[in-house]
Structures are given as C-alpha cells and as structure tokens.
A and B are shown apart, each in its own frame.
Chain A
Amino acid sequence: EVQLVESGGGLVQPGGSLRLSCVASGFTFSSYSMNWVRQAPGKGLEWVSYISSSGSIIYYADSVKGRFTISRDNAKNALYLQMNSLRAEDTAVYYCARVGYCSSTSCVDYWGQGTLVTVSS
C-alpha cells in the first residue's frame, strides 16, 4: 500500500524557516518523481514544487522561487521542503504527492495526509 506521511509543520513567525518532510513507503521511492502541493485554509490547491526521481530536475512555482528548496534522500525514502523567508500567505496544508504511471503516462496518483504550516506573529 502506497503511504506518504508528512511532518514538520507548525507555527512560525514571518521571515522564519521550516523544513517539511515526507516519508514514503509501499513503493520504490527512488523510481518516482514527487511534488509538493499546498492548500490555504478553506481554499483550493496550488502546486509548489517538483523533483524528479533522481533529484536532478527541479521546478518551483513563481510564488516560492528563491525561498523554498525541494530535495530528496532516496536512501531514506524521504522528500523534503526547506521553506525560508516565510510569509503569511504561505500558511497552508502542505501535501506531498507522487507522480505515478497511469496507462503508461504520468499522473499525480497518491497524496499524503498533509502537514499544516501557519505563518503568524
């Protein structure tokens, strides 16, 4: 069974930093690309960042570019999101989501339970 478990969320002051983790199980983590997607309270979904299976290809949404860093440790089956210079508008539940294979093409197929990040003084 595919499982993605996020952790590391919490309350942080504006300008502060936080590091999120997502531990994967039930599949060969090193074979799959991953995403971070966030959801502000009561709002819709916003893609944040993507990392390829090897970690060699990385993309960011403009809203977080230069402040957030995605990384992974395939030996630990773990995905990370280092968030610096946090702003109030970064307040959201952060989900890790797997890029799987649906009928031989890619699809975002499994999502973790999410971890809440609150940026407030």
Chain B
Amino acid sequence: DIVMTQTPLSSPVTLGQPASISCRSSQSLVHSDGNTYLSWLHQRPGQPPRLLIYKISNRFSGVPDRFSGSGAGTDFTLKISRVEAEDVGVYYCMQATQFPLYTFGQGTKLEIK
C-alpha cells in the first residue's frame, strides 16, 4: 500500500496569516493514465470530510481561492493564503492512484493561535 505522510501534524496559525501543509507519498502518485490522483480533504470538528482539492491543484466546487495545491511525483503541498476562522480542523491528503486501495495521510490539525 502507498503510505502517505503529512507534516506538520499540528499547525497553530494566526488569523490572516498563511499556512502550509506537506504530504509525501511512499511511491510516485503518477498513474499510468498520466494523471496524479492526489486530493486534499478538510474535516471540521464533528463533521465529515469535505473535498477541497483534487488532482494536486484543482479546487473543488465552492472552495475559496485562498486554498491552493501544488507538487508532483511524491511531494505535495496545500497552502492557505490567509487563514480564516472557518479553516480550523484537520486536513488530510488522500491518494487514489492505487485505486481501489485509497490511502490517507495521518491528518494535520490546523488551529488558531
């Protein structure tokens, strides 16, 4: 199975400041079809996960443009340009390249200082 490793596991940030989360996979996420199936999810306390970013850098419907994704191969990053109060919660990276064996990172808890 592909192991997804996120850093940091906890990120205290100040409102209005940027935040960045890294995700590394144990093997390349480039699929044989040429796509890289790396997504980012956000889970607020007591809520289900919500899709933010798919295929590395594409924002899902309704996701604010302060969220951006980048990376390639085995190294990926989620950035929030200016953190807002509603951004607190846990962020997960997820790979679907090795479908159906979806795997997730351990999660990064974003909290306000």
Chain B interface residue count, CB cutoff 8 Å, equals 26
Chain A interface helix/strand/loop/mixed = strand
Which among A95, A102, A109 has the highest number of chain B CB atoms within 10 Å?
A102
State in angstroms the CA–CA spacing of A105 and B39 once bound together. 12
B39-70 vs A: 1/0 string, CB under 8 Å? 10100000111110011001010000000000
Chain B interface helix/strand/loop/mixed = loop
Minimum CB–CB distance for A64 against chain B, Å: 13
Minimum CB–CB distance for B87 against chain A, Å: 18
Interface contact A103-B103, CB-CB below 8 Å = no
Which residues from chain B contact A68 at a C-beta distance below 8 Å? none
Q: Within 8 Å of chain A (Cβ to Cβ): is B7? A: no
Q: Interface range on chain A: under 10, 10 to 19, 20 to 34, or 35 or more?
A: 20 to 34
State in angstroms the CA–CA spacing of A111 and B102 once bound together. 15
Binding site for A on B (CB under 8 A): 33, 35, 37, 39, 41, 47-51, 54-55, 58, 60, 92, 94, 96, 99-107
Which 5 pairs of residues, A with B, have the shortest CB-CB distance?
A59-B100, A47-B102, A111-B48, A45-B104, A107-B54
